[in-house]
Amino acid sequence: MSAIDLNSDLGEWDLNESISDAASIDDAAMFAIITSANVAAGFHAGTRRNWFTAELWERMLDHEWHVSPRSDRSGIRLEDSVLDRTERRELPSEGMLSGAIQVSTDGVPTILAVDHPVTGGYPVIAVVTDDFLDPLAQLRPGQEIRFRLATGHS
């Protein structure tokens, strides 16, 4: 009997394989398997979507983002591109929620994670849907994230 894990791209796994066989995989091989998995996360437009051009919104959808080594339990920082905002004024602090994608003054998007601050002062371009918060929390530095526009209200 075998199973295929479609969500993590880990491929087929023989469910009859013994635990000792699985334990024989060295750490480097296991790390390569784990970091090869990619996530496609759904999101909705954020409260400050209008602070960014239509081209940057398209880049959010078309770009392959990578998790930064500077990520932690408060936020998943993304690398490989910056999002310059059209609105330069500062924001007063406002309430935040897990999954909000804030864009700092240097243009780096950060997905607020489980230990995020309760308030924030950077514009929120988008909000990741609840369905994807747990998979995003499992990502390691270097792993790829792609975004897609969510339908529905989850």
- Chunk the chain into consecutive blocks of 10 residues (it has 154) and report each block's average pLDDT, rounded to whole numbers: 46 49 53 57 88 88 90 91 85 89 90 87 90 86 88 62
Which residues belong to CATH 2.40.100.10 in the chain? 40-149
Q: Top-level CATH class of 40-149?
A: mainly beta
What pLDDT score was predicted for residue 37? 55
What pLDDT is attached to residue 2? 42
Give the separation between CA 69 and CA 99, rounded to whole angstroms: 18
pTM exceeds 0.85 for this model = no
| pLDDT tens digits, one per residue of 95-106 | 889 999 999 888
Residue 74 φ/ψ region, left for φ over 0, alpha for ψ in the -120 to 50 degree band, beta for the rest:
alpha
